[in-house]
Structure 1
Amino acid sequence: MDAHASTDETPMGEIAKPNTAWIWKVFFVLVGITAVEFVFVFFMNAGTLRNSIFIVLTIMKAFFIVAEFMHLKHETKGLIWTIMVPVALLVWLLVALVTEGSYVGEVLQNMFK
């Protein structure tokens, strides 16, 4: 019966204190990344550099959310790579499709002028 005994530090009948420090750390990291995104969006001129910085910061924020709230950072490296490689290939596919689509759009636009 002793093998099933609890190994918690809290005495029997008491409720453990909530561990909210990591939630606040995650909150402030996400607020910081969002603030940097707002600075770039509102104070830089529109262009490819601004959009690229915004997209990179947004992807960093998404990866941080997945790592913290979906507990991906606590998984084995094999599972992390199993998730990250298809996502990276999907991002590459989207970039390739947007690039080729804009090229085809320009060709068609110049063809009908």
Structure 2
Amino acid sequence: MAQTAEGHQQHPLGIYFWVWGLLFVLSAFSYAVDYFQLQGYLRWSLILLFMFLKAGFIVAVFMHMAWERLALIYAILLPPLCLLVFITLMAIEGDYTVLARLVAFGPAAEIIAPHH
């Protein structure tokens, strides 16, 4: 990385063009999932995979996270990851509650707490 006269780091433009091209390819793959009409868990797994890859490249390169100190990276990325863990735990608990109602009260519980 080159240093400018003011002491700021200047990253080579090539990496930005490579990541831009990679984002274009990942977007094309994401659209291909719809074009080939994939369904079920495969569809959503691929869409989420491409989404997370694109977001990761944008944060790492275009938001300059790849060149930050590790402490700052942890300070920015750990809170959202903790929130994702808590949301997952709540979703599991919600499914358990619906299942417990169905077992305890039978099909009538579906009227009380309809499952999406």
Task: Pick the TM interval, shorter chain.
Answer: 0.5 to 0.7
Q: Give 1 or 2 for the bigger CA radius of gyration.
A: 1
In 2, are the aligned partners of 1:33 and 1:61 still within 8 Å (CA)?
yes
**Structure 1 counterpart of 2:21:** 28
The percent of aligned pairs where both chains have the same amino acid is: 28
CA-CA distance at 1:105 after TM superposition: 5.0
In 2, are the aligned partners of 1:67 and 1:73 still within 8 Å (CA)?
yes
Which letter does structure 1 place at the counterpart of 2:58? I
From 84, 91, 100, the equivalent of 1:91 is 84
From 36, 39, 42, the equivalent of 1:46 is 39
**Structure 2 counterpart of 1:70:** 63
CA-CA distance at 1:30 after TM superposition: 0.5
Which letter does structure 2 place at the counterpart of 1:36? F
Matches of 2:79 and 2:33, distance apart in 1: 29
Is residue 80 from structure 1 mapped to residue 76 from structure 2 by the alignment? Answer: no
Matches of 1:103 and 1:56, distance apart in 2: 27
**Structure 2 counterpart of 1:57:** 50
Matches of 2:93 and 2:45, distance apart in 1: 18
Matches of 2:31 and 2:92, distance apart in 1: 26
Matches of 2:84 and 2:97, distance apart in 1: 20
Write out per-residue CA displacement over residues 24-71 of structure 1, whole angstroms, 9 at most, x where no aligned residue: 222101001111112223324321232122112201211111111211
* Long gaps (5+) in structure 2: 112-116
